[in-house]
Chain A
Amino acid sequence: MSKLNVLYVEDDRDLRDVGELSLGLDEDIAVQTAESGVAALALLDNGEYRPDVVLLDVMMPVMDGPAVLAALRARPAHQRTPVIFITARTQSHEVSAYQQLGIAGLITKPFDPLALAPEVRRILARWGV
């Protein structure tokens, strides 16, 4: 069985590293990280890496999560790639706005390191992946 390729885009280095460690607890997940939306898009545009799911921080400088999502959807290869937002901003109006963007799911920060990989899998199962 091939591994699930997860791209985790997060500008907070500490959280990015703990997220990578957490996702790596699932032996069937291969994690790639990017420190910004710009770096993530550059990685995808080189064509050698294709994630099965993108875990995307919402509040980042330069390109926030919704902007990265829009840029992904504008790329034919990633129009259907599931995107999971990860954010500390989870008031009902914010969640509603995110969901209207067509995300597969939402993970609330701060996340439990032991629960991150199972949560990603739960969201993907619900999304039909």
Chain B
Amino acid sequence: MNDQLQVLKLRFLERCSRDLALIERALEDPAVSITGDFVETLHKLSGSAGSFGYPAISELAGRVDDELMSGAPPSRESLLALAQGLRGL
């Protein structure tokens, strides 16, 4: 189990790098943060990070996800916090 989980965790971390790049693009261009791709990415990150041992990332992504669900663009503060969390992985 642990070996298999470790393989999945490494793959997840690669995905986090891609997610971070998307979030950084959204910080530069707020229009990115309301695209379907961005919404889907944040929702998935919120629902998955904790299962790989990163509950804080799930919580930070969940905050952005909640903001997106309200129909408004996410706050810069939430995006910055999530980006910082992802850089620390």
Contacts and interface: CB of A to CB of B under 8 A. Distances in A.
B55 A88 contact: no
B8 to A, nearest CB: 5
Contacts of B47: 12, 15, 87-88, 109-110
Label chain B's interface by main secondary structure.
helix
Contacts of A25: 1
Interface string A104-126: 00000111110000000000000
Contacts of A113: 5, 51
Interface bracket on B: 20 to 34
Contacts of B48: 12, 14-15, 18, 109-110
A67 B48 CA distance: 22
B61 to A, nearest CB: 9
Nearest to A87: B47
